[in-house]
A and B are shown apart, each in its own frame.
Chain A
Amino acid sequence: MAAQPETIDQVRAVTEQKYKYGFTTDIESDVAPKGLNEDIVRFISAKKNEPEWLLEWRLRAFRVWQTMEEPQWAAVSFPPIDYQDAHYYAAPKQKVGPKSLDEVDPELLATYAKLGIPLREQEILAGVEGSEGKSPSIAVDAVFDSVSVATTFKAKLEEMGIIFCAISEAVQKHPDLVKKYLGSVVPYTDNFYATLNCAVFTDGSFVYIPKGVRCPMELSTYFRINQANTGQFERTLIIADAGSYVSYLEGCTAPQRDENQLHAAVVELVAMDDATIKYSTVQNWYPGNAEGVGGIYNFVTKRGACRGKNSKISWTQVETGSAITWKYPSCILQGDNSVGEFYSVAITNNRQQADTGTKMIHIGKNTRSTIVSKGISAGKAQQTYRGLVKILPKAEGARNHTQCDSLLIGDACGAHTVPYIESRNRSARIEHEATTAKISDDQLFYCRQRGISEEDAVSLIVNGFCKEVLKELPMEFAVEAQKLVGISLEGSVG
């Protein structure tokens, strides 16, 4: 997703509005000094006025992190990251935000203009201004750099017992829920980036859907990295109690900067008996320029636990941005008959690198998982699907179907498929299929003969290739995703 100037103004407006509610006003410093040490961890915790247990948890994570090494197994390469050369906390001052249009690159603006539709977040954020009376379809939590700046439709949701707020607010208002579930899916020892997140996470969204409640609107978080030299470490926790349903959308943007910025988020989902969580992401972080300068390092840990019987977690992602993506939204299928789904479109162009996929861990009986991955690689980009399907001995009757398709555009890119399939139950049935192909000259010529330009033809054909995944997205996201598919591949043919 991308922001137009109006959006930025609106975010600023919302920011200012939010500040009226006394948000971080008692804090003098808005940016923590560069560097990472226990004092910074304490600083962040103090800024957030956190209880002792949370500070202790952060410190434990930090100590573990110091003993860890960055994972080496992914098929991505980048110069070493100096973790001391970044700010780990940045809160927008009232007037902070891109100061003017000058800060936004014209190329980026042109890109937004090409999107040609009112951007989603624009509508949403526009709706924020005193529009509680209108019939709501989406509630949004906007995270700007490190801080949640606005959560809309909160009152309406509260009537139903739904909690949707910044996680920092949840720590204050619902400490028992946070304490019970935080780190219960992704433990603080999990991996290098997730552990770092545990130590320094600044904000993110918290969702709790009570028993039997079907959340009446899409819940959405909008992430934006704005401040230079800032890492963004948000943390999202979604709990769907027995018999509940929620659909959650996540969108991401960042302005163009020449230096790389780290985004190491953690998302934890918990689905109890008969509960369903649908989590959709459209990730369009700044990918760097055509020569590979700048861009976001998107090193994200997303995991859902299907704890209850008949529970379901469905991940849908459209990954078009970031210089490097390292991301494996996973499902732990613990409850009997639980269902895990992973639908992914990843597009890499120019010098982007993506190593993405999923893990489906089948523990309970009759657990089922579906993986549909569509990878498109163009320019000099490298992309890897990496997935694990693991059937444990008690997962009687487990089923998995995996379809991984890659499309290559141009002869300088790479598309790789690395699935791991491990079965320890004979009654489990696993099917994995992968294909690699290119857009045929016949298809291109056919489209052009019908008056469609080569670039539009590529976009059309690629959208067709991704259809199985895009149809899983909520409607308004789907439209935007389709446009993004075209834009991401611009300049890749001809």
Chain B
Amino acid sequence: MIEIKNLHAKVDGKDILKGVDLTIRPGEVHAIMGPNGAGKSTLSYVLAGREGYEVTDGSVTYYGKDLLALEPEERAAEGVFLAFQYPVEIPGVANTTFLKTAINAMRKHRGEKELDAMQFLKILREKTKALGMSDDMLKRAVNVGFSGGEKKRNETLQMAILEPKFAILDETDSGLDIDALKIVAEGVNALRSPERSMLVITHYQRLLDYIVPDFVHVLAAGRIVKSGGKELALELEKNGYRDFGVDEAA
């Protein structure tokens, strides 16, 4: 269970999060919606532990542990996965190498035996096939020369292989056409399970047509201003964020 309490955070000396409260239980999918600049991406980076995102108040308790005290890689090993809005290119490092390094680093952290090349390849092939990805993408360097859709699919593949307990999907729909969005959403849905929590961050409702959340929250000006069921997303689609003091046209 993830409990975010009164979370305040600063970026470049500016207050972005001003008291976020949120509880996510295993198996739940929460969506965070909100206008540009509401602090959606900041929340995801704070949870993943990015440098430069300074927590000034509040706490995040993750399965009993103080999440904020952990290094980014420790959080990852504990099962926190961030699907990046803009996945980073790493020239020369093959996707396979990257994934193997990551999975083994996490296994080591958890005191599990590292996978050998054969075991890893077996898992990789299964997951790749399940996601309808080509082997070619695995041989290529991490995200280098990938299209927007390929990058997001690659994030989904990484999620499938690393099997997180808590996945944060940061604007997974950005830059995707409807077909690519469907494929990525199918991949994500296949990973829904009673043990896995998800936090889906999005600006638009359309992603939530495909990844249907249990709860929807509206983040505006650094705070969750409204929470509800999936129907809240539809309401937002109709009325925009105006009700929350934000004029989208501005």
Interface residue ranges, A against B (CB under 8 Å): 440-443, 445-454, 456, 460-461, 463-468
B72's partner among A440, A442, A448, A461 (CB-CB below 8 A) is A448
Within 8 A of A (CB), among B50-73: 50-51, 71-73
Complex Cα distance, B109 from A450, in Å, reads: 12
A464 with B106, Cβ < 8 A, contacts A445-B50, A450-B76, A451-B76 known:
no
User: For A448, A450, A461, which residue has the most chain B Cβ atoms within 10 angstroms?
Assistant: A450
Residues of B within 8 A of A448 (CB): 49, 71-73, 76
Could you list 13 A-B pairs, sorted by A, with CB under 8 Å?
A447-B90, A448-B71, A448-B76, A449-B73, A450-B105, A451-B73, A451-B103, A451-B162, A452-B76, A452-B105, A463-B93, A467-B92, A467-B93
Q: Chain B 87-98, CB within 8 Å of chain A: the 1/0 string? A: 111111100011
CB neighbours (8 Å) of B106 from chain A are: 451
In the complex, the 7 A-B pairs of residues with the closest C-beta atoms, listed nearest first:
A464-B92, A464-B93, A451-B76, A467-B92, A448-B72, A450-B102, A451-B106
Asked if residues B90 and A461 are in contact (CB atoms below 8 Å), the reply is: yes
Are A465 and B92 touching (Cβ within 8 A)?
Answer: yes
Across-interface contacts of B141 in A (CB, < 8 A): 464
Determine the chain A residues whose CB is within 8 A of the CB of B88 once the complex forms: 440, 442-443, 445-446
B49 neighbours in A (Cβ, 8 Å)? 448-449
Q: Which of A448, A451, A454 has the most CB of B within 10 A?
A: A451
Tally inter-chain residue pairs, CB-CB below 8 A.
Answer: 80
Determine if B105 and A456 form an interchain contact, defined as CB atoms under 8 angstroms apart: yes
Q: Does B197 count as interface, using CB distance less than 8 angstroms?
A: no
Q: Chain A contacts of B103 at CB under 8 A?
A: 451
Q: Is the CB of B97 within 8 A of A460?
A: yes
Interface centre among B75, B77, B91 (most CB of A within 10 A): B91
Residues of B within 8 A of A446 (CB): 84, 87-88, 90
Alpha-carbon gap, A303 to B96, bound state (A): 38
**Set of chain A residues within 8 Å of B147, measured between Cβ atoms:** none
Taken together as a complex, chains A and B put the C-alpha atoms of A465 and B142 apart, in Å, by 12
Indicate if the CB atoms of A463 and B92 lie closer than 8 Å.
yes
Residues of A within 8 A of B92 (CB): 463-468
Does B82 touch A at the CB level, under 8 Å? yes
Interface assignment of B224: CB less than 8 Å from any CB of chain A: no
Q: Given A463-B92, A468-B92, do A451 and B50 touch, yes or no (CB 8 Å)?
A: no
**Taking the nearest CB of chain A, how far is it from the CB of B110, in angstroms?**
10
B116 CB, nearest partner CB in chain A, Å: 13
Measured between beta carbons, the chain B residues less than 8 angstroms from A465 are 91-92
